[in-house]
Amino acid sequence: MIMRAEWLKFRTVRSWVLGSAAAALIVVALGCLAATGVTMSCMAGTQEVDCPAPPTDSSGRSVADQFTFVHQALTGNGSITAEVGALDGTITYPPPNHDEIVRGVVPWAKAGLMVKDGTKPGADYAAVMVTGSHGVRMQSGFTHDKAAASDGSWLRLSREGNRITGYVSPDGTAWQKIETVRLDGLPSTVQIGLFVTSPSGLTVEENPQGGHAVSARWTQATAEFSQVSPAGGWSESLVGYSDHRTTWEQTHPPGHTEAGGVFTVAGAGDIGLETEGGLAVERVLTGLFAALLALIVVGVLCGTAEFRHSTIRTTLTAMPRPVRVSAAKAAVVGAVSLVVGLIAVGLTLPVATRLLRANAVVILDVSGPTMLRIALGTALLMALAGVFAYGVGALLRRAVPAVLTVAALLVAPPILAVTSVLPPEVGAWLLRVTPAAAFAIQQSVGAYPQFSRPQTVADGYFPLPPWAGLAVLALWALAAVATATWRLRRSPA
């Protein structure tokens, strides 16, 4: 009965209903408007072409997967062993003067052994490798990374069913296991071999006004593999390279040579999640910030109206249960905001992504569960924002201070942090403790330590994991409603 009464109260104030509808409309309209204004094109030599979509991995994520692979088929169980030496390479025009081409390797240059489900970019793999300056690692699934406990130039990768185990040894006799990973659905015949790749060299230039500029330059790595077992029958694949070669790449082509059992392999590229080659899908939900302001006003007014118009006494005379009344109001605001969010996200994501693709804009793919998390999480974020606004409104009992408080806590921190108005540490701290932590739920690509690019708040990386961030907002909402309920019990008017 209390719920039904509170729901009727909500829907019989037209401005609240219109405000809620406006919130949904803002997300859809701004998302579609932004989508029609974006174009993307790439250069192939002197020719302007539509940008190619990056490959996707088995879970559907856009990935970077470019390396030189010298490989042979392995059917059933087996292993590969090699000594990796003389990791060397070229870095074009590095700082400080950016005026010469130097010898050297970037920190995440990789050379090692790989098991891969074919040679198609994005196919499942596991690899053990030496790196430019991060020691010996075992990596798989584009984001999984484990450092070896000890160093060594001898590497071994063995396959047993779905289980791939990486080993390292200083001398080729005493082997240290790094770890075993499972590659589910690996066929019985896989490609096994030697690989080399080298991501762009990066310089991060701190801007005194906040933020930073990242400049990237082409690099190449070469490595010598010797004592390779099994021997013989190797073929070369240039995995993920585009057909177009810059003049620089023409003089330093990827590939391999073999002389006296020593393989010299050269490669450029990266193996990891793709973040640069397209638009992150959550970007189509940029209207969320403006929509939240509308929802905040509605939520706050639901909390303050009964005090402003003195109807709280009528309410408590009809329903002398302040705790249940407060809970019912929060539930109504939360449910309305959730529906608003579901409609807004449910329309914006398909429509805006379709508009973008029609403009030849590449949208980075995410896995199904990630997509679901972004969609449902954004709707939940709106629901919790409504509840939080209601709670602050009911607690402060005055609309203007309540709207300002909620906006300052929920909407301002991400804008300040991402636009680099605040120092990065302060921004990161704000996005951990304020309700704005919840925006982490929208992050399609999380931070991974083995990525070369900076991953600070200013780059759009949230410090908390998605659901933990949403939980922070939930706690704030709960605290606001609980305090407001406590105040209502103590002094009803």
Cβ at position 16, least distance to other proteins in Å? 8
Give the per-residue SS3 of the chain: CHHHHHHHHHHCCHHHHHHHHHHHHHHHHHHHHHHHHCCCCEEECCEEECCCCCCECCCCCEEEECEEEEEEEEECCEEEEEEEEEEEEEEECCCCCCCCEEECCCCCCEEEEEEECCCCCCCCEEEEEEECCCCEEEEECCCEEEECCCCCCEEEEEEECCEEEEEEECCCCCCEEEEEEECCCCCCEEEEEEEEECCCEEEEEECCCCCEEEEEECEEEEEEEEEEECCCCCEEEEECCCCCCCHHHHHCCCEEEEECCEEEEEECCCEEECCCCCECHHHHHCCHHHHHHHHHHHHHHHHHHHHHCCCHHHHHHHCCCHHHHHHHHHHHHHHHHHHHHHHHHHHHHHHHHHHHHHCCCCECCCCHHHHHHHHHHHHHHHHHHHHHHHHHHHHHCCHHHHHHHHHHHHHHHHHHHHCCCCCHHHHHHHHHHCHHHHHHHHCCCCCCCCCCCCCCHHHCCCCCCHHHHHHHHHHHHHHHHHHHHHHHHHCCC
Pick the binder of other proteins from 135, 211, 446, 492 (CB under 8 A): 492
Told to check if 360 binds other proteins by CB under 8 A, we report: no
Which range binds other proteins by CB under 8 A, 174-182, 191-199, 262-270, 307-315? 307-315
Pick the binder of other proteins from 119, 311, 353, 367 (CB under 8 A): 311
Told to check if 363 binds other proteins by CB under 8 A, we report: no
Told to check if 18 binds other proteins by CB under 8 A, we report: no
Told to check if 21 binds other proteins by CB under 8 A, we report: no
Pick the binder of other proteins from 232, 317, 368, 449 (CB under 8 A): 317
Cβ at position 404, least distance to other proteins in Å? 23
Which range binds other proteins by CB under 8 A, 36-44, 85-93, 195-203, 318-326? 318-326
Q: Which is nearer to other proteins, 245 or 324 (CB)?
A: 324
Pick the binder of other proteins from 46, 187, 259, 309 (CB under 8 A): 309
Q: Which is nearer to other proteins, 133 or 310 (CB)?
A: 310
Number of residues in contact with other proteins, rule: CB under 8 A? 24
Told to check if 5 binds other proteins by CB under 8 A, we report: yes
Cβ at position 407, least distance to other proteins in Å? 23
Pick the binder of other proteins from 12, 39, 75, 247 (CB under 8 A): 12
Told to check if 9 binds other proteins by CB under 8 A, we report: yes
Cβ at position 324, least distance to other proteins in Å? 11
Q: Pull the structure tokens for residue 373.
A: 């998390």
Told to check if 51 binds other proteins by CB under 8 A, we report: no
Which range binds other proteins by CB under 8 A, 168-176, 214-222, 313-321, 401-409? 313-321
Cβ at position 10, least distance to other proteins in Å? 9
Pick the binder of other proteins from 52, 95, 320, 350 (CB under 8 A): 320
Pick the binder of other proteins from 8, 43, 86, 174 (CB under 8 A): 8
Told to check if 323 binds other proteins by CB under 8 A, we report: no
Point out which residues bind other proteins (CB under 8 A): 1-2, 4-6, 8-9, 12-15, 305, 309-311, 313-314, 316-320, 492-493
